[in-house]
A and B are shown apart, each in its own frame.
Chain A
Amino acid sequence: MRNPLSKTITTIQPSGIRKFFDIVNEMEDAISLGVGEPDFDTPWRIRDEAIYSLEQGRTFYTSNSGLKELKDEICAYLDRKYDLHYNPSSEIMITVGGSEAIDIALRAMLDPGDEVLIPQPSYVSYEPCTILANGTPVIIDLKEENDFRLTAKEVEDAITDKTKILILPFPNNPTGAVLEQKDLEEIAKVVIEHDIFVMTDEIYSELTYLDKHVSIAAIPGMKERTVYINGFSKAFAMTGWRLGYACAPKEIISQMLKIHQFAIMCAPTTSQYAAVEAVRNCDEEVQKMREEYNERRRYLVHRFKKMGLKCFEPFGAFYIFPSIKEFGLTSDEFATKFLQSKKVAVVPGTAFGACGEGFIRISYAYSLENLKVALDRMEEFVEELRAEN
């Protein structure tokens, strides 16, 4: 029989830590710090809107690009929050999560051989999506000494004649790093000078704890060369609703829309009706969740300091990324040993790129009570390791 598979798909490596994940997910009594989604329920007023839309029988397809009402509301929200100005009838489309937007943006923009700059550690989908879109991933290793920020110099050094897109994954999963106005201005300068494009994944934009989030798309000269991606999963605790959006110049959106039209049709209708309520009326709920994350964040930073674990202070998302290099174990070994001896699950940094070696990702999408128990166990574990060495 002929090989049924494409050459491209078989070259993509499955995540090496999948096995570790499966062990954790099956372990009944493990405490986890490994979840990358909010612990809050979706605010009731959003769920209530979804139920109401079902009662009204609104169960049909929406237009391919999404409900008009939702596109209007998102554009008003982006204007109000981040000073971004998009035309709701031509520069935005609603997608099945931010992840669909990532995929179709790359597919709409890449030709074979085009290079995509991907800063790592970062979310796992950029690299495989680039390959599936016939692009060539070029990894930029973010540095611990820069608090895992991307610098303009690093971008400049990685650019070649073939570079087409720079992916900007900030606020960052897994490090919690953010980029500020000044960082973005410097990066924007390089991007414009070399005439490349930016795909900015700002899914954690509502979760920053130092200053208000700034988008690269708001910097003069950048809107026309940026695909802005955001969604409802993290800000509104709506992971299971699968709803995101992309904003970009009309020429890009109209091509992305073709892929979406043929592959997806439209984002889930019920989720779209619910999301109108989210962007329109949920500032206060979002603020409350952000404050609670921030309380936990401060607590974790304090605990790691007390443990003597090297860790920069993260100001975004809901992750902290301490270094475990002092123990002479790989991230994988550390996570496995920690799970076996203390029944606490954390994610090895290598899940987010090779340069995540020597780090672990800890999520604080857990109640403070849970975090306390887990951190007590971690403290014991760290002390035991130090005593062994």
Chain B
Amino acid sequence: MTMQEKILNYIEKNSRIDLHELAIILGEDETAVMNTLEEMEQKHIICGYHTLINWEKAGVEKVTAMIEVRVTPQRGMGFDKVAQHIYNYPEVQSVYLISGGFDFMVTLEGKTLREIANFVSDKLSTLDSVLSTKTNFILKKYKDHGTIMAEQPKDERMKMSL
């Protein structure tokens, strides 16, 4: 595994680790790790350092919907142009081109149900290239980014064993 891959594998799970510790844990030289990180930031291989939040526990109301969108690709631009049109809206969390029965999977986060409904009816459906939409509201989030949202079980081992 290259150093780049080792770094990425680690910080994908824990981006808060400091540089010094990261170098020790990976068994690499600290300066080399720093340079590789900087390079990956510049190249946009590392696109950001976000935090995974359980908003429900924080007591903050949020509504998330996954919207299936069918579109007509635009001449000369394929799907990209349409996708750009959609992802430029700040309330859109993610846009994926999907194989199967529809074209885009759009994740949308809003404060209220109405906010999402408005977005779909006013913005999304009115785009020329959009043929149809199907809005799926998320009722409960069990696992996100490889992390189970429920409380982690505690260590049930005996404190001491040989």
Contacts and interface: CB of A to CB of B under 8 A. Distances in A.
A347 B162 contact: yes
B44 interface: no
Interface stretch (B19-27, B71-79, B80-88, B94-102): B19-27
Given A35-B157, A39-B155, A39-B157, A299 B21 contact: yes
B147 interface: no
Contacts of A345: 159-160
Contacts of A368: 25
Interface in A8-49: 20-21, 24-25, 27, 30, 32, 34-37, 39
B24 A299 contact: yes
B162 A124 contact: yes
B26 to A, nearest CB: 7
B160 A21 contact: yes
B161 A24 contact: no
A37 B26 CA distance: 23
A14 B4 CA distance: 51
Contacts of A173: 162
Contact of A30 (B27, B159, B162): B159
A167 to B, nearest CB: 16
How many chain A residues sit at the interface, stated as a range, is: 20 to 34
Nearest to A22: B160
Contacts of B26: 295, 298
Interface in A329-360: 345, 347, 351-352
B25 A25 contact: no
Contacts of A20: 160
A124 B162 CA distance: 8
B159 A32 contact: yes
A77 interface: no
A25 B21 contact: no
Contacts of A296: 25
A345 B159 CA distance: 8
B58 to A, nearest CB: 21
Contacts of A36: 161-162
Contacts of B10: 295
Nearest to A26: B159
A34 B25 contact: no
Nearest to A30: B159
A32 B21 CA distance: 22
B27 A34 contact: no
B24 A298 contact: yes
A25 B24 contact: no
B158 interface: yes
Interface string B1-15: 000000000100000
A210 to B, nearest CB: 11
A212 interface: no
A25 B159 CA distance: 5
A173 to B, nearest CB: 8
B29 to A, nearest CB: 13
A123 interface: yes
Contacts of A294: 27
Nearest to A15: B162
B21 A35 contact: no
Nearest to A370: B155
A24 B31 CA distance: 42
A37 B161 contact: yes
B134 to A, nearest CB: 31
Contacts of B27: 294, 298
Contacts of A347: 160, 162
Interface in A268-309: 294-296, 298-299, 302
Interface in B144-162: 155, 157-162
Contacts of B21: 299
A35 B10 CA distance: 25
B162 A27 contact: no
Nearest to A174: B162
Contacts of A21: 160
B158 A35 contact: yes
Nearest to B24: A302
Contacts of B159: 24-25, 27, 30, 32, 34-35, 345
A32 B160 contact: yes
Contact of B162 (A123, A295, A298, A302): A123
Nearest to A28: B159
A370 B39 CA distance: 32
Interface of B: 10, 21, 24-27, 155, 157-162
Given A298-B24, A345-B160, A352-B162, 14 more contacts: A25-B158, A32-B159, A34-B159, A35-B158, A36-B161, A37-B161, A39-B157, A124-B162, A173-B162, A294-B27, A295-B10, A295-B26, A299-B21, A302-B24
27 contacts: A21-B160, A24-B159, A24-B160, A25-B158, A25-B159, A25-B160, A27-B159, A30-B159, A32-B159, A32-B160, A34-B159, A34-B161, A35-B160, A35-B161, A36-B161, A36-B162, A39-B155, A123-B162, A295-B25, A295-B26, A298-B24, A299-B21, A299-B25, A302-B24, A345-B159, A345-B160, A347-B160
